[in-house]
Structure 1
């Protein structure tokens, strides 16, 4: 698997025709575009301007809330497609392009399962993700500090399973290793829904039909863009299906081993500005300092 660094290895260097044909760049946020301190990489806004000049669409694809993504990219959001909530909610210019809401009964069951985990001593909390807001029952500052990172719009409620909103995902934050604790405890939901480990401490429950890859393929169909015209970057298990939707699929050097196996190419780590450095070289953008 080639490593995308300066200069880009020959195995990852497209022909001029292939580079000219790229029309869509999609990237995960945490662990991929952002560094470990959640900072936007230096040079992002210049790269986005160069992509826009080329007619290349840039799309953040994240487990984060749409409102959170829209705030991060507020100054350049016109025409940008946001693949939010791990693909369950896709928005462009404030208009919903697609969504995949959960059945209210499933939301109640997942919230009940979380309450049982808590009663058993697990340090975990549920975030019920609606289109308008996120809803939580835990009000301690340690938990809310994690919620605020990803959910700009959130409310503390008495019963998160009874909110008046279209719920598109239930996310669980586990202060321990989610892949070894919370995820196995939700195994019963995996028969009918997706139980996805989306980060070291996060597990998401969504409809089986919902993932970043499904959202990306729908977007490609709507825009007439092919996998050969698509570049994708990811680092964790919730990015796997999205990587499958692009011929130019890159795992970050810091990615989960399964992501590295699934992707066609390897990019420098998120702390080494891997996304932007790879995009600049892949598309031969006139950007200095990367």
Structure 2
């Protein structure tokens, strides 16, 4: 039987208008009644997720910043700080990529050095706590930096990612959305965060269900036997998942969970 359900946010729990399903909270309560943990697993900042789920925050586990920061009931249970020496070279390169903007993501806030309106609009969508500083590298002195995020207004997969993937030897560099590239420590991703939760709560691979749509969900799918790629998912994610859910605009996560509960709990 399932003991843990994990779901990505953008392209998965959120529809194309960035709205959560009106049935989501009720579904989470149904899972709680069956002693099934619900995990929000996102590249978004913890404080952004907290704002969305404020009313049920104590019923959830939050995997934020693609697994580098994990919170449960307001308590930080995982943090993976990046060595400051590994931050400088990527930031210097990002500054020289046309239409690409870096963000340093810390435990207390995210930090940027550019106030371009398009960039700020998109950054604020994912980072509730965002400070503009004269030099983004100054954030190293202000916070524990766990992720570099790059907003690419020209499309991350073709514009910035080909230049940034060379840093894969020191950091995990992944496409996290159409316009986003994320850097974390090599041993950090959503899958590693799920693995930690499995160990903490003695939950097995076979007892986990996961939903995602993009390549930053790749490792999470590998840690969960009941892995669902959304109908709108990246083709490479669909290749490794055991099931396909309806799209994020068709309440795919809710439909799949409801089907599972109806089949297994009469």
Once the two structures are superposed, the pairs formed by residues 267-286 of structure 1 within 5 Å of their partners are 267-284=245-262
Task: Indicate which of 96, 99, 106 corresponds to 1:130.
Answer: 106
Structure 2 gap segments, 5+ residues each? none
Q: Structure 1 residue 181: deviation in Å?
A: 1.2
1:94 and 2:74 are equivalent in the alignment:
yes
1:61 and 2:41 are equivalent in the alignment:
yes
The 3-state SS of whatever aligns with 2:111 is: strand
Q: d(CA) in 1 for partners of 2:22 and 2:206? A: 28
| Paired position in structure 1 for 2:137 | 161
- Tell me if structure 2 keeps the 8 A contact 1:135–1:160: yes
Structure 1 gap segments, 5+ residues each? 1-20
Task: Indicate which of 82, 85, 88 corresponds to 1:105.
Answer: 85
Task: Indicate which of 190, 198, 202 corresponds to 1:212.
Answer: 190
Q: d(CA) in 2 for partners of 1:39 and 1:92? A: 23
RMSD between aligned residues? 1.2
Q: Structure 1 residue 29: deviation in Å?
A: 0.3
Q: Structure 1 residue 187: deviation in Å?
A: 2.6
The 3-state SS of whatever aligns with 2:167 is: helix
| Paired position in structure 2 for 1:29 | 9
Task: Indicate which of 151, 158, 171 corresponds to 1:193.
Answer: 171
Q: d(CA) in 1 for partners of 2:74 and 2:242? A: 33
Task: Indicate which of 224, 228, 231 corresponds to 1:253.
Answer: 231
Task: Indicate which of 265, 285, 289 corresponds to 2:243.
Answer: 265
Q: Structure 1 residue 285: deviation in Å?
A: 8.3
Deviates more, 1:58-67 or 1:175-184: 175-184
Give 1 or 2 for the bigger CA radius of gyration.
Answer: 1
Return closer, same or farther for 1:73/1:258 CA change in 2, 3 Å cut-off: same
Q: Structure 1 residue 116: deviation in Å?
A: 2.1
The 3-state SS of whatever aligns with 1:32 is: coil
- Tell me if structure 2 keeps the 8 A contact 1:131–1:166: yes
Q: Structure 1 residue 188: deviation in Å?
A: 2.4
Q: Structure 1 residue 140: deviation in Å?
A: 1.9
CA deviation vs aligned residue, 1:137-181 (integer Å, no higher than 9, x gap): 111221100001000000110111121100000000000120111
Greater relative contact order (Cα < 8 A, sep 6+): 1
The 3-state SS of whatever aligns with 1:31 is: coil
- Tell me if structure 2 keeps the 8 A contact 1:50–1:285: no
Q: d(CA) in 2 for partners of 1:62 and 1:272? A: 20
Structure 1 runs of 4+ aligned residues shifted over 2 Å read none
CA deviation vs aligned residue, 1:184-222 (integer Å, no higher than 9, x gap): 111321122111000000000111101000010011111
